[in-house]
Amino acid sequence: MNAIEKILTMLGTPEGRTDPYPLYAALHEIGPVIEVGPDDVIVVGYDAINSVLRDPGFRVSDQSVFEKDFPSWRANPVFVQAADWLLNLNAPRHARVRSLIARAFTARRVAGLEPAIAKMADELLDAMADRGADGSAVEFMHDFAYLLPVTVICELIGIPGADREGFRPIARDLAGVFELRDLETLPTINAAAVELLAYFTGLAARRRADPRDDLLSDLLAVSDSDDGRLADAELLHNLTLLLVAGFETTTNLLGNGLQIILQDPPAGQAVRDGSVPASAFVEEVLRFDSPVQLTSRVGYDTNLAGVAIGPGTGLTTLLAAGNRDPRRFTDPARFDPMRADGGPLSFGGGAHFCIGAALARLEGAVAFPRLLSRFPNISAAGQPKRRDTLLLRGFDELPVTVV
């Protein structure tokens, strides 16, 4: 086995997934773009990743790839929906759907959520305080990190409070599509896709009849306007995308950030006393331990850092490795929210740059200072449990004491 094979094998093991960063460092020593098979490269250099994401010649896996790799995709509701997801659309369709969604998903709408996010965070912190008042352990992932983002997305879309409880497990099941390693989980994921679509179809009918001040009503207004029309299926399918794309990712931002604080209490103190702005802390969490570790593209005839790429080449862009590129970041393994050379790749780049980046950043910037002021003594209580996944990096359990 050569060095590259060894590193890739390690990345596939639970230990490698627990701490992939030494393996990423070893990849950086090999080069920014590494051939790992006849039609497969992994891209680890910051600049190389950036140029792949910003170059429209590199395409995302769209319907044509589904067709080739998984001819029975149409029999699976999740893939029927995913075929309309922004993440899986290429130009020119991507630009049309994205601009229509962006018209409703505005900076104003996101900024307007700040008071609601603060209120939801405080309610969750109240419940944590009650549960942990006698010094017993509270589970941060379950009691906070998992609940805040999904509630915020429900608020954004306009899902009534009474319907939200049932949503969380379904959204989590659907998010399984990002880590599809075998077909065993597919029936659960399909069931979640069917249920969510039925729910959104009903809610859309209600909002069409009686619009409110929410994203869904705005999207319906866009889809009903004459210019550039968003088809109903495109709209509804991308609602399910918002739910899954914005949920576990932000959950992991919160969990990964808290774990850094638990291991390095002065980092938490600096956010608590304001000497480190919460937004700078969030940015460095994103760089240091990215909730989304990688994404992928399909190649075209070109050359990337000296490596020949062809139309059939699959590229895995390791965003989290780019975030630790020693050619880009001074002392990349050091957590330093005040670093002058920030700029993580965690939200991607180019046409597919995360549409929810401002919302995720806002949630982090609202949540961390509140959590830290409320629980100045927050400490680890036992071993955290990492999720055994590579694409979405985070914890299943992060037990803490809060008094």
What residue ranges bind ligand HEM (CB under 6 A)? Answer: 53, 60, 86-87, 98, 153, 241-242, 245-246, 249-250, 253, 291-292, 295, 346-348, 352, 354-356, 359-360
Q: Tell me how far, at minimum, the Cβ of 100 lies from ligand HEM, in Å.
A: 12
State the residue number with the nearest CB to ligand HEM.
Answer: 356
Contact 24, 316 (CB under 8 A): no
CA 165 to chain centre: 21
CA 79 to chain centre: 19
CB-nearer residue toward ligand HEM: 151 or 249: 249
Q: Tell me how far, at minimum, the Cβ of 375 lies from ligand HEM, in Å.
A: 22
CB-nearer residue toward ligand HEM: 61 or 188: 61
Exposed/middle/buried for residue 91 (C-beta within 10 Å: 0-12, 13-18, 19+) = exposed
Q: Tell me how far, at minimum, the Cβ of 261 lies from ligand HEM, in Å.
A: 17
CB-nearer residue toward ligand HEM: 207 or 393: 393
CB-nearer residue toward ligand HEM: 61 or 401: 61
Task: With CA atoms as reference, report the closest residue to 77 among 218, 201, 215.
Answer: 201
CB-nearer residue toward ligand HEM: 347 or 375: 347
Q: Tell me how far, at minimum, the Cβ of 345 lies from ligand HEM, in Å.
A: 8
Exposed/middle/buried for residue 377 (C-beta within 10 Å: 0-12, 13-18, 19+) = exposed
CB-nearer residue toward ligand HEM: 8 or 241: 241
Q: Tell me how far, at minimum, the Cβ of 106 lies from ligand HEM, in Å.
A: 13
- Side by side, the strands of the sheet bearing 40-43 are 33-37, 40-43, 314-317, 295-298
Q: Tell me how far, at minimum, the Cβ of 349 lies from ligand HEM, in Å.
A: 7
DSSP 87: G
CA 115 to CA 85: how far, in whole Å? 29
Q: Tell me how far, at minimum, the Cβ of 70 lies from ligand HEM, in Å.
A: 18
Task: With CA atoms as reference, report the closest residue to 242 among 132, 141, 354, 339.
Answer: 354
CB-nearer residue toward ligand HEM: 268 or 349: 349
Contact 321, 27 (CB under 8 A): yes
Q: Residue 33 CB: number of other CB atoms within 10 A?
A: 21
CA 67 to CA 62: how far, in whole Å? 9
Q: Tell me how far, at minimum, the Cβ of 321 lies from ligand HEM, in Å.
A: 13
CA atoms within 13 A on the CB side of 79: 19
Task: With CA atoms as reference, report the closest residue to 348 among 303, 387, 391, 396.
Answer: 391
CB-nearer residue toward ligand HEM: 137 or 233: 233
Q: Tell me how far, at minimum, the Cβ of 215 lies from ligand HEM, in Å.
A: 9
CB-nearer residue toward ligand HEM: 94 or 272: 94
Q: Residue 229 CB: number of other CB atoms within 10 A?
A: 14
